[in-house]
């Protein structure tokens, strides 16, 4: 049955009535709504569906207003939104000043995307431009700044296992682009009332295709069995987070407990045991003797140990090596790895040696430490080496639990390798190449602090591991062409 002309005209007239009301609303309401939606769409305690429209009120505000005062109010609102977002992850022992160390730089990094929208808001390609600029700015953040990938839009979907499968195609940049594109498309529709192909239908169709792709890819991963290897995460009793350092007697008590957990995990068949980041503190004069004990433990247990601990090099001011040793089942130390990307303010000596992978039976095993895996370039390095499993000793705090572990799952999907994340003050998890947490254990629960799991012996090939950051370069090219064309049309 075809709609009548009357019904079509009624539909158009009702649309015309709604859109003017939206456009005539007081602009400050859009700022307030934008701050609220942004706060509940990012980082901990978030609602993932809000990410698809949380920035739309900000974009409408930028269309309805002009002048330096309105832009100043917008900057303040954006800074407030990110301050509230970061405040959600502040728990002991993290100081409140941490809010501003992260929120203000992230807001500043995102600002060019919003300003580009304000300048191009009347152009039909402005939704694409906004998405491209925001994606490029995120890439600059997690590639060239110590902020890593915190605040990236793609992480809002860390609880959506099917949408996460898109990471295997275009990586985090592709998913962030889609989120920004849909936000801008909705703003464009509210502003103009037009439903153009590039500005409205195409982003929604793209989201639909991403969801279908994710369901098919994830379900296919379950359609056949794979060879697996037994692994384990051994937790520590240490709660040391800085000065004063524990006594040698206290450290030895912690060491013996994690040795016992490692033996038990090996008795249950674990071929790889990963300790928590900073599982204990070793004074330099005792390090050699305890490394000998670790080698003996690995050999007697016939298991590979990724032994993570801290060695102070100075106490005034505090400086230390945050490291792990890769000890194979023969008791050989194959690698000594220093954390490559210390958290801002962490007094750790930065590691610079290239990453390495080693065979455990038929499986290539790589590694990184905690914050390292918030930087996609380090996961890409493990991927380039053909890692099947990456061990990630970690240490979190209540405010970022379990978010930080879910962020590590992004690296697994991007590169197609499993991740074994052994976490102090957080969630330990065995993560498949499809981002699924096949086994998990919280250090805040009452348990034996030993997580046993199985992971696939082999990783999977992904499109992103081949293309790398090609999509970011494509976004950069689009931005350059857009502005070159704008300048050319202005001055032919």
To the question of pTM greater than 0.85 for the whole model, the response is yes
Q: Which of 427, 438, 345 is nearest to 392 (CA)?
A: 427
Q: What's the CA gap between 34 and 444, in Å, rounded?
A: 34
Cis peptide bond upstream of 93, omega within 30: yes
User: What is the rounded distance in angstroms from the CA atom of residue 398 to the CA atom of residue 458?
Assistant: 33
For the residues of 310-375, what is the DSSP string, one character each? EEEEEETTEEEEEEEEEE-TTS-EEEEEE-SSPPTT--BPPP-SPP--EEETTEEEEE--GGGGGS
Q: What residues contact residue 360 under an 8 Å CB cut-off, 6+ apart?
A: 229, 271, 272, 304, 328, 329
Contact 435, 141 (CB under 8 A): no
d(CA 81, CA 102): 12
CB 323 within 8 A of CB 311: yes
Distance CA 312, CA 30 (A): 51
CA distance 408 to 392: 9
Strands 389-395 and 418-424: parallel
Task: CATH 3.60.110.10 in the chain: give the residue spans.
Answer: 228-457
| pLDDT digit string (tens) for the chain, length 492 residues | 444 554 444 444 444 445 555 555 688 999 999 999 999 999 999 999 999 999 999 999 999 998 999 999 999 999 999 999 999 999 988 899 889 999 999 999 999 999 999 877 677 788 999 999 999 999 999 999 999 999 999 999 999 999 999 999 999 999 999 999 999 999 999 988 877 666 678 999 999 999 999 999 999 999 888 999 999 999 999 998 878 888 889 999 999 999 999 999 999 999 999 999 999 999 999 999 999 999 999 999 999 999 999 999 998 899 999 999 999 999 999 999 999 999 999 999 999 999 999 999 999 999 999 999 999 999 999 999 999 999 999 999 999 999 999 999 999 999 999 999 999 999 999 999 999 999 999 999 999 999 999 999 999 999 999 999 999 999 999 999 988 887 666 666
Helix (H), strand (E) counts: the chain? 15, 12
CA distance linking residue 197 with residue 482, whole number of Å: 18
Collect all residues with Cβ–Cβ distance below 8 Å to 352 and sequence separation of at least 6. 338, 340
Q: Is 276 helix (H, G, I), strand (E, B) or coil?
A: coil
Handedness of CA 332, 274, 439, 152 (dihedral sign): negative
Q: 341: number of CA atoms within 13 Å, CB side?
A: 23
Among the listed residues 368, 367, 418, 414, the one whose alpha carbon sits nearest the alpha carbon of residue 389: 418
The reported pLDDT for the residue numbered 12 is 47
Q: From residue 384, how far is each of 162, 203, 457 by CA, in Å?
A: 25, 32, 17
What pLDDT does 309 receive? Answer: 97
Domain 228-457 sits in CATH 3.90.1150.10? no
């Amino acid at each position: 049955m075809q709609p009548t002309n009357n019904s079509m005209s009624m539909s158009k007239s009702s649309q015309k009535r709604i859109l003017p009301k939206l456009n005539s609303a007081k602009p400050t309401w859009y700022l307030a709504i934008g701050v609220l939606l942004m706060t509940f769409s990012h980082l901990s305690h978030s609602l993932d569906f809000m990410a698809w429209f949380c920035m739309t009120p900000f974009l409408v505000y930028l269309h309805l207003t002009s002048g330096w005062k309105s832009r100043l109010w917008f900057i303040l609102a954006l800074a407030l939104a990110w301050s509230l977002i970061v405040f959600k992850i502040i728990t002991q022992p993290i100081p409140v000043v941490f809010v501003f160390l992260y929120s203000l730089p992230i807001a500043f990094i995102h600002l060019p995307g919003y300003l580009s929208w304000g300048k191009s808001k009347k152009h039909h390609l402005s939704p694409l431009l906004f998405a491209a600029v925001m994606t490029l700015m995120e890439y600059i953040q997690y590639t060239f700044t110590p902020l890593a990938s915190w605040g990236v839009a793609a992480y809002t979907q860390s609880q959506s296992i099917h949408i996460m499968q898109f990471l295997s195609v275009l990586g985090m940049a592709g998913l962030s682009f889609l989120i920004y594109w849909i936000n801008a498309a909705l703003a464009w529709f509210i502003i103009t009332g037009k439903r153009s192909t590039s500005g409205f239908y195409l982003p929604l169709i793209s989201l639909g295709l991403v969801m279908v792709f994710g369901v098919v890819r994830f379900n296919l991963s379950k359609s056949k069995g794979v060879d697996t290897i037994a692994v384990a995460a051994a937790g520590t009793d240490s709660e040391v987070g800085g000065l004063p350092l524990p006594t040698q007697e206290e450290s030895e008590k912690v060491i013996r407990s994690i040795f016992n957990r490692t033996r038990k995990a090996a008795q249950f068949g674990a071929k790889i045991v990963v300790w928590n980041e900073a599982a204990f503190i070793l004074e330099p004069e005792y390090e050699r003797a305890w490394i000998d004990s670790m080698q003996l433990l690995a050999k007697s247990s016939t298991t590979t140990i990724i032994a993570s601990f801290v060695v102070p090099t100075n106490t005034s001011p505090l400086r230390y090596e945050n490291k792990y040793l890769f000890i194979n089942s023969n008791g050989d130390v194959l690698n000594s790895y220093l954390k490559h990307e210390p958290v801002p303010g962490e007094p750790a000596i930065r590691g610079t040696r290239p990453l390495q992978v080693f065979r455990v039976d038929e499986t290539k095993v790589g590694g990184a430490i905690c914050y390292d895996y918030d930087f996609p370039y380090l996961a890409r390095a493990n991927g380039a080496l053909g890692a099947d499993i990456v061990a990630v000793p970690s240490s979190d705090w209540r405010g970022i639990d379990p978010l930080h572990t879910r962020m590590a799952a992004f690296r697994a999907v991007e590169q197609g390798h499993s991740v074994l994340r052994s976490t102090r003050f957080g969630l330990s998890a065995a993560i498949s190449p499809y981002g699924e947490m096949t086994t998990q254990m919280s250090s805040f629960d009452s348990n034996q602090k030993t997580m046993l799991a199985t992971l696939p012996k082999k990783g999977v090939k992904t499109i992103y591991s081949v293309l790398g950051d090609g999509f970011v370069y494509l976004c950069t090219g689009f931005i350059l062409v857009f502005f070159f064309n704008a300048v050319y049309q202005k001055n032919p």
